[in-house]
Structure 1
Amino acid sequence: MAPAGSVQPQTGARSFRPAYRLCKTDEYSSVFAFRKAVRGRYFVLHYRPSESPTARLGVVVAKKLARRAVLRNLIKRMAREWFRHTRETLPHHDLILRLNAPAKDVTRADLRQDLAALFKRLPK
């Protein structure tokens, strides 16, 4: 038992386990080769039906579109967090979220709205 006031790591259905991630180059290549995508204002969501029992996510943020590492990491964290909370409602696809527009003066609210719209438009 943990002492009172300590923070326990989150476990269970809402974590971002390795089973929910795309890691290998071949996995990314197969999703890009499938050539299906949903486009938003700032992101493109590439997808491919998968045999895995759940949706899996990969995130690509080019240095050309988000120059600072702080911004690139923020965008990746936001994407993973959104996926973590909506994974159970998503179809069993391999997904790659790719930044498609410069994110220099973009607010977090704009990014969240674009993420929400993309994941809603994902075909079942």
Structure 2
Amino acid sequence: AGIGECYLEMQDFEKAQSYFEQSIEAYPENEILAYNVGEIYFSNQKIDEAIQYFTISTQVMPDWPPPYLKLGYVYLNKGDYGNAEVNFKKFLEMNPNSPEAPTVQNILDYIAKIK
């Protein structure tokens, strides 16, 4: 994963993705690897793939907030407001004092208005 992170820093997303995916095959229980692959897919607007990897991250480490935040944004981007709301709420429950909390609450307020 270290090589993948270097490629990610250099913004060579294709090589980073390749290394992260190889690492996931070797270490399927690593939530950070799954999260990083989800980030790459999301940044490339590959929404369904991003959902898959962020979800893996939540399954491996259910009490780690970052993938719930990302799933909220991915589902919001997809127009799936129900799943966006579920994941944003989960993130806020786990991390209410996060710097992202006010933004997430504003998004939840918006979703509540359009439902």
Is the pair's TM-score, using the shorter chain for normalization, greater than 0.5?
A: no
When normalised by structure 2's length, the TM-score is 0.25
Structure with the higher fraction of residues in helix conformation: 2
Structure with the higher fraction of residues in strand conformation: 1
Q: Which has the higher contact order (CA 8 A, sep 6+)?
A: 1
Larger Rg: 1 or 2? 1
When normalised by structure 1's length, the TM-score is 0.24
